[in-house]
Amino acid sequence: MSKKSGATQSRPQAKKHYYPSQPNGTNGSVGTNGTNGAKAVTAPPKPAGDATQARATEEARKQARLERQAANKAAADKRKRMLKLRNIGIISAIAVILVAGIAVWMINEANKPGTFIPMEPSPHLATVNDSHAPYSSDPPTSGPHVPTVPNWGVHTDVLPLPLQVHGLEDAGVVINYQPNIDKATLDRLTALVNGYDSQVILSPYPNLSNPIVLTAWTRMDKLNTFDEARIQKFVQAYRGIDHHRDSGS
């Protein structure tokens, strides 16, 4: 066994190795912007042609969108024009129908016997003596009246107006005459009225404007002389037409 020397024998030191430094690495690891040797991956730059193509695609989409919007607006405008034209057509057709209807009504009215007199409010009265609004015509052709229906035929006494009006409402025709009319004319009127079994009345009417005045609901004809054909035409035109629905009473 060898003797130990007094001086402590030094151990040989480990040989140090040096590596060239790596950019952005630690402990000699190889990498870019990484640690522990992990390698960072970066996307390659896009070719210039791809950007141009993307812009072209976007422009094409934009143009297509504008074209669709323009087409939709044109279609909407067309629908509006068609709707407007249709409405104008409908209104025009209605106007034509109304004008034609009015013309037909006027022609019919002109061809009817007598004169049209607009209907006035026609409420019921309790008695013939009840006060009421004045009649719009003389003799009356509508207006306030009593619920009682007069007897058809020849009356030698004056027929109260509220009773006479109800006769008109109940599909009757009244032949009014001046009380001082000549007997021959009165006899002919009497014979004419007796030829009807109902819905015709003959009655004297004081202060009558003409010798003979025919009345029906909203119609009147004035005669200065007896005219049998004219009287019968009036009676046949209006006798038998009930007017309760019109009067509302």
* 216 vs 51: CA distance, rounded Å: 96
Which CATH number is associated with domain 119-247? 3.40.30
SS3 189: helix
H-helix or E-strand spanning residue 216: strand 212-216
Q: 71-107 burial string, b = 16+ CB within 10 Å, else e?
A: eeeeeeeeeeeeeeeeeeeeeeeeeeeeeeeeeeeee
* Per-residue confidence in pLDDT tens, the chain, 249 aa: 444 444 445 555 555 555 455 545 444 444 444 445 555 556 666 566 678 888 888 888 888 888 999 999 999 999 999 999 889 999 999 999 999 888 887 777 777 899 999 999 999 999 989 999 999 999 999 999 999 999 999 999 999 999 999 999 999 999 999 999 999 999 999 999 999 999 999 999 999 999 999 999 999 999 999 999 999 999 999 999 999 888 877
* 180 vs 77: CA distance, rounded Å: 78
Q: Please, where are the H alpha helices in the chain?
A: 48-111, 161-169, 183-194, 228-238, 244-247
Q: What is the DSSP letter of 43?
A: P
